[in-house]
Structure 1
Amino acid sequence: MEAIRHTQKKYASRAMVAGICVALILILAGYRTLGKGVMLGAVFSVINFVLIGATLPFNAGRSRKQATAVSFGSIIFRYAILAFPLVIAARGKSFDFAATAVGIFMVQIVILSEHAWKMIPLIVHKRS
Structure 2
Amino acid sequence: MEGIRQTQKKYGSAALSFAIITGFIFYLVGLVPICKGLILGTLFSILNFVLMGETLPMRIDRSKRSVFVIALGSIFFRYLLMAIPIVMAIRYEQYDLFAVIIGIFMVQLMLLADHLLKFFKDRIKYKN
Structure 2 length-normalised TM = 0.95
Instruction: Indicate the residue corresponding to 2:30 in structure 1.
Output: 30
Distance in 2 (CA, whole Å) between partners of 1:125 and 1:58 is 40
Residue type of the alignment partner of 1:90: I
- Following TM superposition, by how much is the alpha carbon of 1:52 offset from its aligned partner in structure 2, in angstroms? 0.4
Structure 1 runs of 4+ aligned residues shifted over 3 Å read 122-128
CA-CA distance at 1:43 after TM superposition: 0.4
Q: Which residue of 2 is the match for residue 115 of structure 1? A: 115
Q: Does 1:56 align with 2:65?
A: no
Q: Equivalent residue for 1:103?
A: 103
Sequence identity (%): 41
The superposition leaves residues 7-50 of structure 1 with CA deviations (integer Å, 9 ceiling, x where unpaired) of 11111111111111111111111111111100000000000000
Distance 2:43 2:125 in 1: 37
Distance 2:17 2:65 in 1: 39
| Structure 2 residue ranges without an equivalent (≥5) | none
Q: Write the distance in 1 (CA, Å) between the matches of 2:40 and 2:58.
A: 28
Q: Give the total of aligned pairs.
A: 128
Segments of structure 1 that go 5 or more residues without pairing to the other structure are: none
Query: Which whole-Å CA distance do the structure 2 matches of 1:9 and 1:117 have between them?
Result: 19
TM-score of the pair, normalised by structure 1: 0.95
